[in-house]
Amino acid sequence: MKNKKVLLGMSGGVDSSVSALLLKHQGYEVIGTTLELFSEGSSCNNNTYLDAKSICSQIGIEHFVFDYKKEFKEHVINDFIQCYSNCKTPNPCIECNKHMKFGVMYQKAKELGCEYIATGHYAKTEYSEKYERWVLKKSNAGNKDQSYVLWNIPKELIKYILFPLSDFENKEEIRQIARENNLKVANKPDSEDICFIPDGNYKKFLENNSNIRPKEGNIVNLEGKILGKHTGLYNYTIGQRKGLGISNPVPLFVLGFNKEKNEVIVGEEDKLYKKEILVNNINLLLVDEIKAPIEVGVKTRYSSKIAKAKIVQEKENIRVIFEEPQRAITPGQSAVFYMDDIVLGGGKII
């Protein structure tokens, strides 16, 4: 008989709780796990473990907590700090998915004799006859689709990943299943914050956990003219308009940074648009290499719409050439490439 044992990552929220229920109803032998990733004062605290354990107990499956704080600090928190140190804006969920949920958790699944791992992400995996491989696809959840944050997972794992929520179109359907099955997390609010920064104050987190400190410098325009003072480069993001403390006849926006000179560079809105970008740290899921230019759809941040573009391999980097210029593209964020609804791959914006 085919092994149908699956290790499910559980956050104590409604998505992973309903995922456990659905997998059990589909005949899988489900083991729930909550990864302990960081210390107290976070959204992943004792309440999270208790909610996950309670749900597992209610639906009759095992639940384990595993301590991966060391690995999380090494791969996720240190990357977060390093990005801000280098005037980049990270997306820590992408690093967490690669190294934790689809890294150490998969290793743990194998240790426990599981063939599959599962999470409550809104995404889809399936075998593609056209590409003759397992592929990662967008889910049916529209704006809630989370395939964007999964581009960096190891492609050899795709055939072993289950996303029980792939065919649901909205969160209310999930909550309704939870209510019908008397799961106490049915109305638990979604967590919108970075999990290890529950109060949302990433500036305070950086100051408390790194050597990043407020360091005043100049705000300059593209010609180098000093227009005002800033309070530290990490306090600003590309596209920011408010809070610059400078008056100008036309609105000015943050365009970029000069780390060596400790300068924030500002300009008018039309300068925020780019026709081409470079990305590195490439991970290709659909193809093994890009031999010739490919027409794709590209997302440059989780909330952005897909834009038409052409991608071209240039040594270790990929050049993205957009059909229409894109606004406020931010180094450190990910550019994710789509062929229709399949994730071709992605990389980090330079």
pLDDT tens track for 114-126? 999 999 999 999 9
Specify the amino acid at residue 111.
E
Higher pLDDT, 44 or 77: 77
Give the containing element (helix H, strand E) for 194. none
Residue 42 has pLDDT above 70, yes or no: no
The per-residue pLDDT for 336 is 98
Q: Which helix (H) or strand (E) holds 312?
A: strand 307-314
- Residue 295 CB-density burial (10 A; 0-12 exposed, 13-18 middle, 19+ buried): exposed
Question: For residue 15, with 0-12 CB atoms within 10 Å meaning exposed, 13-18 middle and 19 or more buried, which class applies?
Answer: buried
- How far is it, in rounded angstroms, from Cα 323 to Cα 71? 40
Structure tokens at 190: 């979604």
Determine the Cα angle at 77 with ends 74 and 81, to 5°. Answer: 115
Question: How far is residue 64's CA from residue 71's CA, in Å, rounded to a whole number?
Answer: 18
Q: Mind telling me the catalytic residues?
A: 96, 195
Question: What backbone torsions phi and psi does residue 192 show, to the nearest 5 degrees?
Answer: -100, -15
Triad 205, 210, 213: Cα angle to 5°: 80
What is the rounded CA–CA span in Å between residue 169 and residue 139?
8
What is the predicted pLDDT for the residue at 40?
A: 54
Both structure tokens of 109: 């699944």
pLDDT confidence tier of residue 87, bands split at 50, 70 and 90: very high
Backbone angles phi, psi at 223, to 5 degrees: -90, -5
Confidence band of 192 (pLDDT split at 50, 70, 90): confident
pLDDT in tens, 335-349: 999 999 999 999 999
Q: Is the pLDDT of residue 272 over 50?
A: yes
Place of tokens 């209610």: 58
Are 85 and 232 in contact by the 8 Å Cβ rule? The answer is no
Q: Which amino acid is it at 33?
A: T
Q: Any idea how long the chain is?
A: 350
Q: Fill in the amino acid letter for 335.
A: A
β-pair type (161-162, 116-118): parallel
**Average pLDDT rounded to a whole number, residues 37-63:** 81
| Residue 153: closest CA among 348, 350, 345 | 345
| Residue 205: pLDDT over 90 | yes
The full set of domains in the chain, from first to last, is 5-180 (3.40.50.620), 214-267 (2.30.30.280), 273-349 (2.40.30.10)
Residue-averaged pLDDT of the chain:
95
Using only the alpha carbons of the chain, give its radius of gyration: 22
Q: What's the first-to-final CA gap in the chain, in angstroms?
A: 48
